[in-house]
Amino acid sequence: MTDFTADVLLKKGREASLRRHHPWVFSGAIASINAGTKGKPEAGDTVRVLSAGGEVLGKAAWSPESQIRARMWTFDAPQRASEQVDESLIQQRIQHAIRRRQPLRSDKRTALRLIYGESDGLPGLVVDQYGDFLSCQFLTIGIERWRDTVINALQAETGCKGIYERSDVSVRKHEGLKEQSGRIWGEAPPAQLVIHEHDRQYQVSIASGHKTGYYLDQYDNRQWVQQLCARQGQNWRVLNCFSYTGGFGIAALAGGARQVVNVDASEPALQSAAANAALNGFADTQSVQVQANVFEYLRELRQQNEQFDLIILDPPKFADTRHQFKKAARAYKDIAMQAAHLLSPGGYLINFSCSGAIDMPLFQKITADALLDAERQGAITGFLSQSEDHPVALAFPEARYLKGLVSVLD
């Protein structure tokens, strides 16, 4: 009995990326579909992918409504037998992903990413752990087909109290799926639970927080900010833009900064930022919350001749596709230029991009142009990325989406 329903034949010369084990097959690479005994493949079915010459390259999940028509489950090689795509494969990959991250867990790190999609051989599946609860996203029709298997394997491997789904993301519509969220197994998580990062604590809402509840990808970078302030930022004044619930601000204060100004458009996020400051023992005068449009507020601060020793820019994704990169580039440049006007001599600018369409060389160029227009000189002293629980598969550079620059201005 076969585990695939049809053969997908690629156009001539379009198999190179699959030979390198890149996991995506785009619609434009497909020449034809040879239906099996069951007829044409349905959404989520496993299909076999062949080169134009008929060589079997591997097996993939079929997604007829997405530009990424197939996401590879397995890759064939002459030296090994073809893997079956079945419950056992899904279970083994979940087990491997979770156990690989076991050394990262401790009493001082109670939240981390357990499964990161393609980088863990599970395209479209994201699972984060917050204490005794899991928060997950089923982003593709392929992994949606294995939903029950995934849930059962997560229970068995983690012993969690409950699993909550946060598939309330627009990307699902490209897979022919509706957005959805809610408890899918066990206990419902509390409205607010506390996670630990080193000597810091943060309140997290799994049900209503951003992404799966929080920005776990910035774990290492928050610690980096704390260490920077501890080394040379005693008595610094810090501006934390797009602050969300104040994660970087708490890190700066924990390192010894004198005051942090958190700026965000969301009132609930700023209320959480104030609660997080209090949770960590900081006074209202140390953690100031400003509800404002960051682009406009930076200009107001310039008019008021305000100055800061450290400015952090961690905006939301400005570009979802390559077609939007010019607009995104202008936005990244604008906020970096305005921030440069506000930095005192010797001050630090830490700016991030999570837009996949903006790679690191382009992001560095955008930042350099911004400082040039602000008539400021500076140098990059560090490059930042996502934490190690968000690994990047060697053949899948798209998994490295978070880019950060640390610049010191003269």
Known catalytic residues are 354
Residue 397 and residue 316: Cα distance in Å, rounded? 20
Which spans in 63-161 are helix H? 87-100, 141-144, 147-158
Residue 147 CB: number of other CB atoms within 10 A? 14
368's tokens: 């350099």
Which residue in 312, 297, 192, 207 sits closest to 250, CA to CA? Answer: 312
The burial of 316, by beta-carbon neighbours within 10 Å (0-12 exposed, 13-18 middle, 19 or more buried), is given as exposed
Contact between 384 and 321 under an 8 Å Cβ cutoff? The reply is: no
Contact between 325 and 355 under an 8 Å Cβ cutoff? The reply is: yes
Residue 328 and residue 334: Cα distance in Å, rounded? 10
18's tokens: 């699959």
Residue 307 and residue 290: Cα distance in Å, rounded? 16
How far does CA 47 lie from the centroid of its chain?
Answer: 28
Half-sphere exposure (Cβ direction) of 327: Cα atoms closer than 13 Å: 8
Residue 24 and residue 72: Cα distance in Å, rounded? 6
381's tokens: 């002293």
Residue 25 and residue 57: Cα distance in Å, rounded? 11
3-state secondary structure of 39: strand
Contact between 280 and 201 under an 8 Å Cβ cutoff? The reply is: yes
Residue 378 and residue 406: Cα distance in Å, rounded? 10
Residue 251 and residue 239: Cα distance in Å, rounded? 12
Residue 126 and residue 373: Cα distance in Å, rounded? 40
Residue 358 and residue 363: Cα distance in Å, rounded? 6
In which element (H, E) is residue 220 found?
A: helix 219-232
3-state secondary structure of 72: strand
